[in-house]
Amino acid sequence: MLAGAVLTRSERKKSEILNAARGVFLREGYTAAGMEAVARMAGVSTATLYAHFPSKAKLFEVVVNEAVGRMAEPVRASLEVQGDARARLTALALAYAGVMSRPATRAMFRMVAGERPRFGAVTDPVLHSAHQDLRRVAIQVLEDLVETGELTIGQPAWAGGQLLGMLDDATLVLGLTAGDEAQPLRPLADICADAVETFLARYGTQRT
């Protein structure tokens, strides 16, 4: 019982460190971020911090991996939505657009891009994995709808990229160019509806 309690405290402390580190890295950037600042924000000693993460580079790697993994969760959850092609594609589009419109998502992408010359070996595989994770969800939805006869698609991977690409400009790209807090002038629901209608006009069957 005691061992389990210690493990629980350890995992909780690790989570607090990661939350603090994410904020410090996003605010200060990798170079200016100090391990002492992370420890202070997490409410732990530097000894405790180094016991969990032996270096700032390792801490950065874990922060990036953990943050990117969280980004994909709402998109994966959209797989649970039931309904016709329009309903399922709309759920996917709204989940993706919502994630890419978050200031935290833009800030993370901006930070990773800025640190790419230093941490390309770390950031490139993580971002590639995140991109593939999002595309896999889209491909799964499209393959399901092809199987039900609601879509006619020769290359689901290409089509999935087209659908998500219609959403990128108004969400992620807008934030990276106009600022993390910038939001599109039109409601996300309208942007997603237009993207879905355009997609259905290209790939939908008469059943849609």
Residue of 54, 168, 67, 53 whose CA lies nearest to 126: 67
pLDDT digits (tens, 9 = 90+) for 20-75: 999 999 888 888 899 999 999 999 999 999 999 999 888 988 888 888 778 889 99
- In the numeric block, the tokens 């006869």 are attached to 149
- The whole-angstrom separation of Cα 88 and Cα 148 is 12
In tens, the pLDDT along 165-197 reads 999 999 999 998 999 999 999 999 999 999 999
Angstrom distance (rounded) from CA 63 to CA 19: 8
What φ, ψ does residue 151 adopt, rounded to 5°? -130, 150
| Mean pLDDT on 191-208 | 89
118 or 147, which is more confident? 147
pLDDT at position 148: 95
pLDDT of res. 4: 47
Task: Show the DSSP H helices in 33-115 as ranges.
Answer: 35-42, 46-52, 56-77, 85-100, 103-114
Look at residue 65 and give its three-state secondary structure. Answer: helix
The pLDDT of residue 8 is 74
Number of residues that make up the chain: 208
144 or 118: which leads in pLDDT: 144
DSSP 8-state code for residue 172:
I
